[in-house]
Amino acid sequence: MLSGLAIALAAYAGFGVVLYLAQDSLLYYPTAERTDSRFESLRLRSDDVSLKIWKANPGHEQAIIYFGGNSEDLEPSLDSINVIVPNHTVYAVNYRGYGGSTGKPSQSGIFKDALNVYDYVKKQHLSISAIGRSLGTGVALYLAVERKIDRLALITPYDSILKVAERQYPVYPITIMLRDHYDSLSIASKIRNPTLILIAERDRTIPPVHAENLARAIPSPWGTKITIPRAKHNDIHDAESYIRHLSDFFATDD
């Protein structure tokens, strides 16, 4: 019995060490750089890194900054976003370490980059909105708290990455193990702009309960929560209602 207990404890400790050491590779999946895109790219210096940003649909007074998921190839996303927001210029940010941007991804670095991207875009446009998807919802919400954002759309969001990880690994002290918490819940009460929250009903990557928690924390009347029936985390964008809700939300800016 003692031998079995020792083996179990060793396995528990060993997997815990693996989780701790591999946490960055579990949270961030940097995408390869595209060099043959149909879209314009620009370079922006953000402290010690060089960000590669895709720019689509130029020439509009209104802009949208898009923050994608943790393994999202931004170019295909731009195709669908252009259909949804035809009267906005869209800037899609490759996080540091992603898609030709230099550096290594981290919460503090990505948050800092989001502010620098906003400050650059603000010089070119009269108004700025933001869209975040999955990991990017925490970045977009942070930006909306720190800068003036007209409208904010959060697609498959979370209350915090910490809470998502605690649900996945309940037997480990995730609070002290995880470096990047992306705690959107702690700042959601500061939101003061129209915010659309789109939830995938069958999301297993970020279970809907986390988006529900976030939605409740956004003050009335700013938050609007909509659940897309039968949608999963990675196919929510295929739903006709998803496109309609986003189009209607941003059409009010016209």
Range of the domain at 160: 2-251
How far, in Å, CA of 91 to CA of 176, rounded?
35
Which CATH number goes with the domain that contains 156? 3.40.50.1820
* pLDDT level of residue 2 (50, 70, 90 thresholds): low
Query: What's 158's DSSP letter?
Result: -
How far, in Å, CA of 195 to CA of 129, rounded?
10
* pLDDT level of residue 1 (50, 70, 90 thresholds): low
Average the pLDDT over 197-213 and give the result: 97
How far, in Å, CA of 109 to CA of 24, rounded?
13
pLDDT in tens, 145-189: 999 999 999 999 999 999 999 999 998 889 999 999 999 999 999
Helical H runs in the chain? 2-21, 23-27, 74-84, 107-122, 135-146, 161-168, 174-177, 208-217, 240-251
Quote the number of domains for the chain.
1
Share of the chain above pLDDT 70, in %: 98
* pLDDT level of residue 244 (50, 70, 90 thresholds): very high
pLDDT in the model for residue 179: 95
How far, in Å, CA of 89 to CA of 77, rounded?
14
Predicted TM-score (pTM) of the model is 0.94
How far, in Å, CA of 80 to CA of 101, rounded?
23
Share of the chain above pLDDT 90, in %: 80
